[in-house]
Amino acid sequence: MIVLGLETATASGAVALEIDGRLVGELVTTTEREHSETLLNGALELLDGVGASFGDLDLLVVDLGPGLFTGLRVGVSTARSLAMAAGISVIGLSSLEIMAHDPSVDHAAEVMSVIDARRGEVFAQHFVRVGGELEERSEACVLHPDELVAMLERRVQATGEVTVLGDGALRYREGIEDLEGVTLLDDVHLPSPAVACALARQRRLVGLEPSLVFPVYLRDPDAVANFTTAPSGDAR
């Protein structure tokens, strides 16, 4: 089985290719939000390396978000288009869940995944390891950095230690890394599409018909927010 993973939830984008449960390769395609220009080329590079094409794919795995609006739109629309053309299904996973299963936190008892949401906010979700498996302990939510710090303080007071990762945590690290009991990882900036493919396989998830796969934004896109909060003509 040939599985392609697509990742576009952050400013960075990436692709991964699995064949029969073995990771063939993972490639960061951009770090500058150039998803529409680089995503397909990155996927083609991986497929060309094994003598395959998009028509050979058996399954697509895509990050649904939350994350940056434009990136998610590109990733999900690309996954849907490729899947429709190939007649295959799509598995969508949460960006925060993918990040929480990164190998760098395999042994962490508590994990906080944090993605930069721009507008001075972050997307965050808290996970706890129970019997070796991570379980959600909060819903994915939108937080001000001060609210994230307060949440982390409460978790440390309750359990003594939390591992934090993601580009949102790195952007607002000043308020996070000084917390006693909090470990901030410097080397995890984006949810890994290779981790997403492995997670889908390990859980034996069933793909959906492409038209049923949608991004998870958690809030209005920037253009809508700017429009709805802009002053009226009389107020300018």
Residue 232 lies in a domain: no
pTM comes to 0.91
Say whether pLDDT at 223 is over 50: no
Say whether pLDDT at 234 is over 80: no
Say whether pLDDT at 232 is over 70: no
Same domain? 17 vs 128: no
Among the listed residues 127, 122, 126, the one whose alpha carbon sits nearest the alpha carbon of residue 168? 122
Residue 12 lies in a domain: yes
Could you tell me how far CA 25 lies from the centroid of its own chain?
Answer: 18
Number of domains comprising the chain? 2
Among the listed residues 96, 99, 100, 98, the one whose alpha carbon sits nearest the alpha carbon of residue 111? 100
The residue ranking higher by pLDDT, 223 or 40, is 40
Same domain? 49 vs 68: yes
Say whether pLDDT at 227 is over 70: no
- Give dist(CA 7, CA 53) in Å, integer: 19
Range of the domain at 36: 2-96+191-224
Same domain? 119 vs 176: yes
- Both tokens of 165, joined, read 């990762």
- Residue 132's pLDDT band, with cuts at 50, 70 and 90, is confident
Q: Beta partners for 5?
A: 16, 61
- Which CATH number goes with the domain that contains 91? 3.30.420.40
Same domain? 200 vs 85: yes
What percent of the chain has pLDDT above 70? 93
- pLDDT value of residue 221: 67
Residue 236 lies in a domain: no
Say whether pLDDT at 220 is over 80: no
Among the listed residues 92, 75, 89, the one whose alpha carbon sits nearest the alpha carbon of residue 7? 75
